[in-house]
A = this chain, B = another copy of it.
Amino acid sequence: MKTLSVDLGARSYPIYVGSALLGQRDLFAPFCEHGQVCIVTDDLVAPLYLDRLQRTLAGFKLHSTILPNGEQNKHWQTLDRIFSFLLKNELGRDTTLIALGGGVVGDLTGFAAACYQRGIPYLQVPTTLLAQVDSSVGGKTAINHRYGKNMIGAFYQPQAVIADTDTLTTLDTRNFSAGLAEVIKYGMMADADFFLWLETNIQALLAHDRELLNQVVYRSCEIKAQVVAADEREANGQRELLNLGHTFGHAIEVGLGYGEWLHGEAVAAGMMMASALSVRMGWLTAAEYRRLGRLLERAGLPVKAPQALTPESFMQHMQRDKKVRNGRLRLVLPHGIGNAEVTDAFDAAALADTLAGKPL
C-alpha cells in the first residue's frame, strides 16, 4: 500500500492506494469508532463488494443503502433516497457515510454528506478506475440538472480516500477505458513524461497488470492532489485545468442524455475537440494532436463527437459551463502535450469549425 496526502490545512486527508484494502479494518476503524456508519453503494457494486466491506466493519454500528447504478440516476431523487434512509433510521450528525462505488456513488454520497444536517463526515472508497484516479479525490461533489451536468453541488472534502486496486479486476472493458480517459488527461494537461509513459504501457494497463495499475492510480492521485491543494475551490484558475475536455464532454453527456456515453468517453472526445481547436489556434501541432488521438484509440476510447449533436446544441450546453464569466465562454486548451491553459482568447470561427467537425 502507498499513501499520499491532499494538503488542505485543517481539511487535509490521506489517500491510500493498494491491494486488498477493503479487508483492512485498521484503515477504516479511525472513522467508524464514533457514532454510526452508513455505506452507500449501488446495485452493480453491492453484489461484488458490499458483503466484504460489511465483514471488515463488523462490530461497528453499520447501515447500508443501495442506489440504482448509472449517471442517469445522479439527480435529486436519488440523493433524496439517501436522506430518507438516514432520517428513517434516525442517523444523527455523528454518522459517517462511506461511498463504495464509482464516480456517481461518490458524487451522490459526498453531496449527501455535505448537506445532511448541514454536513457530516464521509469516506471515499472508489471501485472504478475513473473514481480512483479522479472523482474520489478533491472534494468535488454534485448532482446533475436537466439543464447541465454537475450544476448542483458542493466542494466538500472526504475524511480519507481508500482505493483498493483489486476492485479494478471486476471492471468491464468499457468502464476501464473510460477511466483511462482521465488518466490520459493528466498527461496531456500537466505531465509530458507521464503521457509518454502511458504510450509505452497502455497495452499492459489494458491487460490489468497489477503493478502498473497501482502506479497509474498513484501517479494520477498525486497530480490531482497537487492541483487541488493549490486551488481547492477553483478560485485561481489552476483547478480549472483539470477540466480539459470537460466543457465539450459535458455538452455530449447532456446532449445525448445522461448515461448514453460514459463520462470518460465524453471527456476523450472532448479532449480531441479541445485539441483540434488548439491546432487551429497554433497552440498544438498536428503531430501532437495525432499522438493524443492514437493513445485514446488504443485505450478503447472515442475520438470524435457523436454525429447526433449539432454545433448549435453544443453551443447551447457549453454556454452554461461553470467556467463562463460575464457570458463569455472560457475553455481549457492544450498548449503542447503536458501543458494547458484556461482562455477565452480563441477565434469564434475556429470553435465553429471544431464543433462542425471540419477536418484540420
A contacts, CB < 8 Å to B: 35, 76, 80, 83-84, 87-88, 90, 92-94, 114-119, 140, 142, 145, 147-148, 151-155, 233-234, 319-320, 322-327
User: In the complex, what's the smallest C-beta–C-beta distance from A176 to chain B, in angstroms?
Assistant: 28
Contact between A90 and B325 (Cβ–Cβ < 8 Å)? no
Smallest Cβ-Cβ distance to A139: which chain B residue: B118
Chain B min CB distance to A129 (Å): 24
| Partner among B114, B145, B323 whose Cβ is within 8 Å of the Cβ of A87 | B145
In the complex, what's the smallest C-beta–C-beta distance from A77 to chain B, in angstroms? 9
How many Å lie between the Cα of A323 and that of B92 in the bound state?
A: 8
Q: How far is the CA of A90 from the CA of B318 in the complex (A)?
A: 10
Known: A35-B325, A87-B320, A116-B152. 15 other contacts (CB 8 A): A80-B145, A83-B147, A83-B152, A84-B145, A84-B147, A87-B145, A87-B147, A87-B148, A90-B327, A92-B325, A114-B154, A117-B322, A118-B322, A119-B155, A154-B154
Smallest CB gap from A321: residue in B: B92
Q: A35-B325, A326-B35, A327-B92 are in contact. Are A119 and B154 (CB under 8 A)?
A: yes
Pairs across A and B, CB under 8 Å, 10 listed: A35-B325, A76-B76, A83-B151, A87-B148, A93-B323, A94-B326, A115-B152, A117-B322, A118-B155, A118-B233
Note all chain B residues with C-beta closer than 8 A to A320. 87, 90
For A234, the chain B residues whose CB sits under 8 A away are 118
Which of B119, B145, B153 is close to A233, meaning CB atoms less than 8 Å apart?
B119
Q: Out of B76, B119, B147, B326, which one reaches A88, CB within 8 Å? A: B147
- Expressed in whole angstroms, the Cα–Cα distance for A85 and B87 within the complex equals 30
Q: Are A325 and B87 in contact (CB under 8 A)?
A: no
Flag if B152 contacts A322 (CB, 8 Å). Answer: no
Contact B90 A324 (CB under 8 A): yes
Residues from chain B with Cβ under 8 Å of A92 in the complex: 322, 324-327
Closest to A89 in B: B320
Bound complex: CA A12 to CA B76 (Å)? 32
| Closest beta carbon of chain B to A261's beta carbon, Å | 21
Contacts A118-B154, A154-B119, A326-B35 known; A83 to B145 CB distance under 8 Å? yes
Nearest CB in chain B: distance from A107 CB, A: 11
Give the distance in Å from the alpha carbon of A145 to the alpha carbon of B118 in the complex.
13
- The minimal Cβ–Cβ distance linking A271 to chain B, given in whole angstroms, is 22
Measured CA separation A233–B140 after assembly (Å): 20
